[in-house]
Amino acid sequence: MDFLTIISDTLGELIAPTTAAYVLAAIGLNIHFGMTGLMNMGQAGFMLLGAYGFAVTQSMGANLFASVCAAIALAVIYALLLGIPTLKLGPDYLAMVTLAAAEIIRIVGRSTAMTKITGGSAGISPQDFTTQFEGTSPLPNGATTFLLWTYNNNIANSWWLRIVAWVLVAVAALLCWRWFHSPWGRVLKGIREDENAIRSLGKNVTTYKMQALILGGIFGALGGIIFVLPRSVQPDSLGRAVTFYTWTILLLGGAATIFGPILGSCLLWVLLTFVKELMRGAIPDTVISSNQVESLGWVIVGVALMCLVIFRPQGLLGDRKELAFDA
């Protein structure tokens, strides 16, 4: 067992692009759930659409900006398609429909019939869509070591990707902070509390909910792009599990808070990696195999989610009095 590797691997999660991708997805979910009270159980659907929108257009040779726009546009269309029928219904309906729709996207995306566009279940491999992004890097080629971490400057899981991802997170958090403390955010919070009351006060609740759904979906799509950049676009890696991870992150950090998603994501991944690495290091492979360690990691996340919701529903940063749940 090598403690130093475990520690540096674990702390590496702190700045990993995947962590940032989950922060973005959780910020989106925070706009949905924390601010507006929308039970979006299909954030992974937004992420997958964003990833497809970006990667497919990139592999077709579109420029970087156009690809990001395509990802955002897909998220907007998807939010509209989901929102129009369900936003007028109760929270259970939105939960089920978003869950179902995310699954539809995954099933259709991985279908053999879609192989020409999405690569089917094999997905889109990195060399087809990451070159342009890597090309925009102002950093010199090679690898750089900063404190504990050594990564390539430009290629794949790179410093450049980390910089872009966390700058995006910072911008998203800043925007969220503005929105949370604006009259617009107040209306959303009002809808979270009681949409009929808000309706009786002359606000077009459906429009606000739709704005929130779209906005959160866009952050989800951006998260999806960041998520796939260091790996490949694999429809099955953006399934229901990702949505549930995102929920755990949001509830861990604290719904309806600005820094909740950031804290939640960093903490979850650092702790989870630490526990898994420790198990891999400490327990011989004959007792618990590597696959089983992976399963155990999931069990931990599941139990953590249950305990969080039961014992500390406001998360780490939330105000007990301002829970995002109905009392």
Partner 1 sequence: MTAVTPSVRRHRLGLLLLPAIFALLMALCISLTSPSLAFAAEAVPTCNPTATNGCVNGILQDANKQPIANVELKLSGKESATTTTDAQGNWAFSVSADGTYTVTMDESVAKQYGLKAATAQVEIEKNSFDKARQVVRFDKPAPASASSSVGGSTGKAQSGNSGANGSTSSSDTATTTNGSAIGANIGKRIWQQLFSGIIFGLVLGLMSVGMNLVYGTTGLSSFSHGEQVSLGGLMAYVGTQVLHWPLIPSAIFAVLIGALTGWIQNELIWAPLRRKRVGTMQQMIVTIGLSMALQYTFQFFFGGDIKGITKSVPASFNLGPVTTDAPTLIAATIAIIVIVGVSLFLYRTRLGRATRAVSDNAALAAASGINVEQVVRIVWILSCAMAALSGVLLGIYLNGISWNTGATLLLLMFAAVTLGGLGTANGALVGSLIIGIVADMSSLIIPNDMRYASALAILIIVLLIRPQGLFGKQQRVG
Partner 2 sequence: MRESHEVKPETKPFQDLAKWATKAPEGEKLISTAYGDKVTKDLQFVDNEPGVHKPDPILVADHVTRKFGGMTAVDVEHFEIERHGITALIGPNGAGKTTLFNLMTGFDTPNTGEWRFDGRDMAHMQPEKVARMGMVRTFQLTKVMSRLTVLDNMLLSAPVQPGEGMFRSLIPGLWKKQEQANIDKAEALLERFLLINKKDDFAGSLSGGQRKLLEMARALMRDPKLVMLDEPMAGVNPALKQSLLDHIMSLREEGTTVLFVEHDINMVRHIADWVTVMAEGKIVAEGQPKSVMNDPAVIDAYLGAHANIDLGDDSVLDLKESEEH
Which residues sit at the interface with partner 2, rule CB under 8 A?
A: 175, 178-179, 182-187, 189-190, 192-194, 196-205, 207, 210-211, 215, 321-323, 327
Q: Contact between 88 and partner 1 (CB under 8 A)?
A: yes
- Enclosing H/E stretch for 35: none
- Enclosing H/E stretch for 150: strand 149-152
Q: Contact between 320 and partner 1 (CB under 8 A)?
A: no
CB of 3 to partner 1, least distance (A): 26
Say if residue 307 is exposed, middle or buried (CB neighbours under 10 Å; 0-12, 13-18, 19+). exposed
Binds 321, which of partner 2, partner 1, none (CB < 5 to 8 A, cut-off by type)? partner 2
Q: Within a 10 A sphere around the Cβ of 320, how many other Cβ atoms?
A: 8
* CA of residue 206 relative to chain centroid, distance: 24
Binds 54, which of partner 1, partner 2, none (CB < 5 to 8 A, cut-off by type)? none
Q: Contact between 316 and partner 1 (CB under 8 A)?
A: no
Q: Which is nearer to partner 2, 81 or 178 (CB)?
A: 178
The DSSP symbol for 233 reads B
Binds 92, which of partner 1, partner 2, none (CB < 5 to 8 A, cut-off by type)? partner 1
Q: Is 166 helix (H, G, I), strand (E, B) or coil?
A: helix
Residue from 85, 148, 193, 290 touching partner 1 (CB under 8 A): that is 85
Q: How far apart are CA 206 and CA 25, in angstroms?
A: 22
Q: Within a 10 A sphere around the Cβ of 286, how many other Cβ atoms?
A: 6
Which sign, positive or negative, has the C-alpha torsion 8, 266, 245, 316? positive
Q: Contact between 319 and partner 1 (CB under 8 A)?
A: no
Residue from 236, 285, 319, 322 touching partner 1 (CB under 8 A): that is 236
**Which of the residues 122 through 181 are near partner 1 (CB under 8 A)?**
none
**Pair 28, 215: CB distance under 8 Å:** yes
Closest-CA residue to 32 (of 84, 88, 89, 79): 79
Residue from 138, 140, 284, 291 touching partner 1 (CB under 8 A): that is 291
**Pair 29, 286: CB distance under 8 Å:** no
CB of 205 to partner 1, least distance (A): 9
CB of 9 to partner 1, least distance (A): 22
Binds 78, which of partner 2, partner 1, none (CB < 5 to 8 A, cut-off by type)? none
Q: Contact between 204 and partner 1 (CB under 8 A)?
A: no
Binds 69, which of partner 2, partner 1, none (CB < 5 to 8 A, cut-off by type)? none
Q: Is 285 helix (H, G, I), strand (E, B) or coil?
A: coil
Please give the span between the terminal C-alpha atoms of the chain, in angstroms, as a whole number. 47
* CA of residue 51 relative to chain centroid, distance: 11
Binds 76, which of partner 1, partner 2, none (CB < 5 to 8 A, cut-off by type)? none
Q: Which is nearer to partner 2, 107 or 178 (CB)?
A: 178
Binds 182, which of partner 1, partner 2, none (CB < 5 to 8 A, cut-off by type)? partner 2
Beta-carbon contacts of 42 under 8 Å, excluding residues fewer than 6 positions away, are 82, 97, 98, 99, 100, 101, 102, 103, 243
- Residue ranges binding partner 1 (CB under 8 A): 39, 81, 84-86, 88-93, 95-97, 99-101, 103-104, 107-108, 110-117, 120-121, 196, 199, 236, 240-241, 244, 247-248, 251, 291-292, 295-299, 301-310, 313, 325-327
